Amino acid sequence: MISPDIVERSLYLRGQIEYHNHRYYVLDAPEITDAEYDVLFRELAALEEAYPEIDDPNSPTKRVGGKPAEGFVPYEHALRMYSLDNAMNLEDWFVFTDRVSKGIGRNDVEYWADPKMDGLALEVIYEKGRFVRAATRGDGRIGEDVTHNMRTVMNLPLTLHGPVVPDLLEVRGEVVMSNADFASLNQRQAEDGDKVFANPRNAAAGSIRQLDPKVAASRPLRFMGYGIGQVEWATPLFSWTTQNDIMNGLKELGFAIPPEARLCKTKQEVAEYFKELMEGRSDLPFEIDGVVAKVNSLEMQRGLGFTSRAPRWALALKFPAHQVKTVLNSIRIQVGRTGVLTPVAELEPVQLAGVVVSNATLHNKGYIEERDFRIGDTVLIQRAGDVIPQVLSVDMDKRPESASPYDFPSQCPVCHSEAREDGEAVRCTNDTCPAKIVQRIIHFVSKAGLDMGGVGKKWVQRLAEDGVLVSPADLFTLKKTDLLKYERMGDKSADKFIAAVTKAKKEAVLWRLIAGLGIRHVGEQTARTLATNFENFEAIGKVTREELQELEDVGPIVAESLHDFFRLDETKLLIEKFTEAEFCPTGGRSDFDESDLPLAGKVFIFTGSLPDMTRSEAQVLVEEQGGSSVKSISKNVDYVVAGEKAGSKIAKAEKLGLEIIDFEAFLELIQRRT
Ligand code: IVH
């Protein structure tokens, strides 16, 4: 018999982890550090492994994706998932509102308005507050069961919490990917020679329509709820009577809802909201293609009913597309960190969605061939999200007679070595290609790697071109005098550069080093797994492919890639240089429990100048004792450290009732605890 303590502990841990997932993925306001989260997660995973009886399909440990499904199973929606009618302009909107007013016999109609999210429509079902099923919209009546994939979507609650949890709840919404996540996913796909996606919607849909949930788990997907199907309450007197109630209710139960959603008192307010959102659409983190306005009262909604296709109480007001035509002047080839040759269109500069666009991605060789882009063509370009513009198609009527098909290079434009096709990608075959070296070091210092804030991309490029940096390890032996040889490098910048390297060297944890080396097929998740299973970096190279494959997230392709990486002469040299520089990060997470540190969980903010120490030194002191520091003030801050000439933050801190301490008190706090 399993002890009740174990059951209780596992329930407690699941609750905690889901709580922190919600803070992080839905509210964007984490309360604990990654390391603290990992401690909880690992304890739960260990318990579940030791006691299979406590297994639960809704345990947060299942979010990594289980076994692949054998095939797609159709799912019949209890209530049909309707489509929406579209308005192409505000005139259409007012025709619609007239019809609504006539239908219910009154003019004072309130509307709920939210952005039309551009993703994949889906229904997620909860019984007694537990996630039981997810299905795509399909044709509105029958969709596909995608429960296995939706469980991996980190912002989807697996258990509902709140004052009143319905017995049955069907939530409708959209699976989306943010523009930033989409851009990095595509970059990764290109680097790995995998398929690139045309837009965030395709990326989201392509990730959900998969049999293997590991795919969805590796993609940064989000679910945004915008409505409901069936709902049943155990509490007889409780119900939702407006769309506004539904949205507040969904939020309270733990769902993310579309940003900027709002109650509009009149039809004019909806028109204003539409204009506002259209202007601000490129500032939103997600791709939206319009506004959806819904009659707020559910009773009125029932009175209006549905046509054969769409509700009579809701309308999509579509934005005009962010597209424009311009001339393709030339095609430049960029060489990435894994040697992939990426074609970039150099365009006749043109205004698009408020910015001048002169470059756009052409993805890869296949993309150019399929659409037959030729230099001199007039092409249609689009901003998918606000990130990288794309070239969509050719205007054949405007093709110059002289235009000939584009000849994709079979040589690396930088080192002139042979470039070979590999899946969708064409890759430079030279492992010591200068372009690859530069990009690798840039990746190493970037946020995806060791995050050396003070080390600029341009300088890395310069130093690598001059042969000062040949591998990431050379950063650690770089001296200030090496930098000062450059006329444009001032004393301050050189200090900042060296300080950033020193700080990163001191604080680096193993997973960041692994992720920072940009080994093919090894992303952050795999890097974290490796870091928890190996003593140090070198140790990973000492095991066989088979042993690597025993780890979670490591399949044959990843194992092969790691194996190859450690057999390269450059890697051997890299390890030697790391050792020489005494750079040997360890797990930093598995060895001790950070929550035992004296300042664990405490959040600091510094304002004004501190006597005797720089702000980053103060931050390091805090971090060493388990605390963290932030840049912007909020009620999550525990201590506001006020230096000289402290600015407006103090007023804000006072307003929020935060504890404000001076530098003396800060030192005392730190010393008292050491
Ligand atoms: S409400 C009864 N709200 O647009 C119809 N739909 O073109 C309820 N969509 O299939 C739909 N964002 O997937 C609604 N904020 C939003 C939406 C939204 C995107 C999608 C939805 C629907 C499609 C119709």
DSSP 644: B
Residue 227 has pLDDT above 70, yes or no: yes
Same domain, 638 and 559: no
Same domain, 172 and 307: yes
The answer to whether residues 6 and 47 touch, using CB atoms and an 8 Å cutoff, is yes
Model confidence band, residue 595 (pLDDT cutoffs 50, 70, 90): low
Contacts of 163 (CB under 8 A, 6+ apart): 252
Q: What does the pLDDT read at residue 236?
A: 75
Calculate mean pLDDT across residues 32-56: 92
The CA 217 to ligand 1 mean position distance, Å, reads 24
Q: Of ligand 1's atoms, which has the minimum distance to the CA of residue 137?
A: 10
Sign of CA dihedral 392, 393, 395, 398: positive
What is the rounded distance in angstroms from the CA atom of residue 10 to the CA atom of residue 344?
51
Q: Is residue 71 part of a domain?
A: no
**Is the minimum distance from the CB of 427 to ligand 1 under 6 angstroms?**
no
Supply the residue whose CA is at minimum distance from atom 18 of ligand 1: 116
The answer to whether residues 24 and 61 touch, using CB atoms and an 8 Å cutoff, is no
Q: Which helix (H) or strand (E) holds 99?
A: helix 90-104
Angle, in degrees to the nearest 10, between helices 491-507 and 615-624: 0
The answer to whether residues 472 and 518 touch, using CB atoms and an 8 Å cutoff, is no
Mutate to test the pocket of ligand 1, among 79, 80, 84, 124 (most ligand atoms within 8 A of CB): 84
Same domain, 134 and 275: yes
The CA 369 to ligand 1 mean position distance, Å, reads 35
Residue 594 has pLDDT above 70, yes or no: no
User: Is-catalytic flag, 116?
Assistant: yes
Q: Which residues pair with 86 in a beta bridge?
A: 316
For residue 139, CA distances in Å to 149, 311, 403 come to: 20, 15, 43
Q: Of ligand 1's atoms, which has the minimum distance to the CA of residue 294?
A: 1
Q: What does the pLDDT read at residue 387?
A: 56
Of 16, 31, 64, which one is at a domain's C-terminal end?
A: 64
Q: Is 531 exposed, middle or buried (0-12, 13-18, 19+ CB in 10 A)?
A: buried
Q: What does the pLDDT read at residue 593?
A: 53
Q: Which residue has the tokens 């506002």?
A: 276
The answer to whether residues 347 and 381 touch, using CB atoms and an 8 Å cutoff, is yes
Q: Is residue 599 part of a domain?
A: yes
Q: Is residue 586 part of a domain?
A: no
Both structure tokens of 316:
């999509």
Residue 592 has pLDDT above 50, yes or no: no
What is the rounded distance in angstroms from the CA atom of residue 134 to the CA atom of residue 145?
6
Could you write out the DSSP letters of every residue in 529-581? HHHHH-SSHHHHTTS-HHHHHTSTT--HHHHHHHHHHHHSHHHHHHHHHHHHT
Same domain, 161 and 221: yes
Of 546, 580, 614, which one is at a domain's C-terminal end?
A: 580
Q: What does the pLDDT read at residue 384?
A: 59
What is the rounded distance in angstroms from the CA atom of residue 494 to the CA atom of residue 8?
55
Same domain, 612 and 487: no
**Is the minimum distance from the CB of 150 to ligand 1 under 6 angstroms?**
no
Q: What does the pLDDT read at residue 40?
A: 94
Range with the poorest average pLDDT among 187-196, 381-390, 498-507: 381-390
**Is the minimum distance from the CB of 311 to ligand 1 under 6 angstroms?**
yes
Supply the residue whose CA is at minimum distance from atom 21 of ligand 1: 121
| Chain centroid, CA 642 distance in Å | 34
Share above pLDDT 90 across residues of the chain, in percent, rounded to a whole number: 63
Averaged pLDDT score across all residues of the chain: 90
Residue 591 has pLDDT above 60, yes or no: no
The CA 234 to ligand 1 mean position distance, Å, reads 28
Same domain, 226 and 332: no
What is the rounded distance in angstroms from the CA atom of residue 77 to the CA atom of residue 410?
52
Strands 74-76, 288-295: pairing is unpaired
Residue 222 has pLDDT above 60, yes or no: yes
**Is the minimum distance from the CB of 200 to ligand 1 under 6 angstroms?**
no
Q: What does the pLDDT read at residue 328?
A: 97
Same domain, 169 and 305: yes
pLDDT per position as a tens digit, 240-279 = 999 999 999 999 999 999 999 999 999 999 999 999 999 8
pLDDT per position as a tens digit, 394-449 = 999 999 999 999 999 999 999 999 999 998 899 999 988 999 999 999 999 988 89
In CATH, what number is assigned to the domain containing residue 22?
1.10.287.610
pLDDT per position as a tens digit, 647-660 = 778 888 888 888 88
Of 259, 287, 318, which one is at a domain's C-terminal end?
A: 318
In CATH, what number is assigned to the domain containing residue 542?
1.10.150.20
**Is the minimum distance from the CB of 114 to ligand 1 under 6 angstroms?**
yes
The CA 84 to ligand 1 mean position distance, Å, reads 7
The closest alpha carbon to 149, from 134, 127, 129, 170, belongs to 134
In CATH, what number is assigned to the domain containing residue 119?
3.30.470.30
Both structure tokens of 76:
């019949």
The answer to whether residues 346 and 377 touch, using CB atoms and an 8 Å cutoff, is no
- Secondary structure (3-state) at 338: coil
Q: Which domain holds residue 463?
A: 434-580
Long-range contacts of 548-552 (CB under 8 A, 24+ apart): 552/64
Q: What does the pLDDT read at residue 630?
A: 80
Q: Of ligand 1's atoms, which has the minimum distance to the CA of residue 311?
A: 2
Which listed residue (62, 116, 577, 602) is catalytic? 116
Model confidence band, residue 596 (pLDDT cutoffs 50, 70, 90): low
**Is the minimum distance from the CB of 82 to ligand 1 under 6 angstroms?**
yes
Q: What does the pLDDT read at residue 672?
A: 57
What is the rounded distance in angstroms from the CA atom of residue 544 to the CA atom of residue 563?
7
**Is the minimum distance from the CB of 225 to ligand 1 under 6 angstroms?**
no
The closest alpha carbon to 288, from 257, 321, 255, 315, belongs to 321
Both structure tokens of 380:
């249609």
The answer to whether residues 395 and 328 touch, using CB atoms and an 8 Å cutoff, is no
Same domain, 105 and 189: yes
Q: What does the pLDDT read at residue 459?
A: 92
Both structure tokens of 483:
């930098």
Residue 674 has pLDDT above 70, yes or no: no
Q: What does the pLDDT read at residue 279?
A: 86
Residue 369 has pLDDT above 50, yes or no: yes
What is the rounded distance in angstroms from the CA atom of residue 196 to the CA atom of residue 118?
18
The answer to whether residues 83 and 309 touch, using CB atoms and an 8 Å cutoff, is yes
Same domain, 329 and 296: no
Q: Is 496 exposed, middle or buried (0-12, 13-18, 19+ CB in 10 A)?
A: middle
Residue 73 has pLDDT above 70, yes or no: yes
Calculate mean pLDDT across residues 494-505: 92
pLDDT per position as a tens digit, 571-582 = 999 999 999 999
Same domain, 143 and 228: yes
pLDDT per position as a tens digit, 519-559 = 988 888 788 889 888 989 999 999 999 999 988 778 899 99
**Is the minimum distance from the CB of 137 to ligand 1 under 6 angstroms?**
yes
Same domain, 94 and 196: yes
pLDDT per position as a tens digit, 190-211 = 888 788 887 888 899 999 999 9
**How many domains does the structure of the chain reveal?**
5
Neighbours of 198 (CB within 10 A): 15
Residue 633 has pLDDT above 60, yes or no: yes
